[in-house]
């Protein structure tokens, strides 16, 4: 069965595999537990950060009303209109890690975990990468595209 949703908690509870899509492309795919615990694509990373899944996974804070609530981070920018997604990585106008390498279509990369892959040239954990400040626009935003 194929289940389409934006609700990651529902994905975590009913699905075995997940395909993360942005701009009509699959940007990451794999077993739900693996993708949610070890996201590689920067969009997946942002989605998970903007969710409250960790509250339920963490025995220290899950379902504890005294744990307090934190503001959830958001992904900067907004989804481009249909037909206006950038060439190369479709997420690069919103990604803090975008650089000129992201102007080419990222190849699909399989991680070491069976069935887990992504299309990001600077995946989570890339030791050579320094994120731009949140206030810095992505390269296409600067060019007005």
| Stretch in the footprint of ligand SF4 (CB under 6 A) among 30-38, 50-58, 63-71, 87-95 | 87-95
Contact 99/115 with Cβ under 8 angstroms?
A: no
Q: What is the DSSP track for 4-26?
A: --S-HHHHHHH-SEEEEEETTEE
Q: Where are the alpha helices (DSSP H) in 5-118?
A: 8-14, 32-37, 42-49, 53-57
Nearer residue to ligand SF4 within complex by CB, 8 or 92: 92
Nearer residue to ligand SF4 within complex by CB, 61 or 99: 99
Nearer residue to ligand SF4 within complex by CB, 56 or 117: 117
Nearer residue to ligand SF4 within complex by CB, 23 or 31: 23
Q: What is the DSSP letter of 140?
A: H
Helix, strand, coil percentages, rounded to 5, for the chain: 25, 10, 65
89 lies in the site for ligand SF4, by CB under 6 A: yes
Contact 122/104 with Cβ under 8 angstroms?
A: no
91 lies in the site for ligand SF4, by CB under 6 A: yes
Give residues 19-78 in contact with ligand SF4 (rule: CB under 6 A): 41-43
Among 106, 116, 139, 140, binds ligand SF4 (CB under 6 A): 106
Q: Which residues make up the interface to ligand SF4 (CB under 6 A)?
A: 41-43, 89, 91-92, 95, 97-98, 102, 106, 120-122
């Amino acid at each position: 069965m194929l289940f389409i949703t934006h609700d990651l908690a529902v994905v975590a509870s009913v699905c075995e595999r997940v395909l993360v899509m942005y701009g009509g492309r699959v940007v990451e795919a794999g077993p739900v537990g693996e993708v949610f615990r070890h996201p590689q694509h920067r969009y997946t990373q942002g989605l998970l950060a903007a969710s409250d899944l960790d509250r339920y996974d963490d025995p220290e804070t899950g379902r504890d009303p005294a744990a307090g609530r934190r503001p959830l981070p958001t992904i900067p920018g907004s989804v481009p209109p249909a037909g206006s997604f950038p060439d190369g990585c479709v997420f690069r106008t919103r990604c803090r890690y975008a650089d000129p390498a992201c102007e080419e279509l990222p190849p699909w990369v399989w991680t070491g975990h069976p069935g887990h892959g992504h299309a990001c040239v600077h995946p989570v954990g890339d030791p050579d990468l320094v994120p731009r400040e949140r206030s810095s626009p992505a390269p296409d935003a600067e060019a007005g595209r």
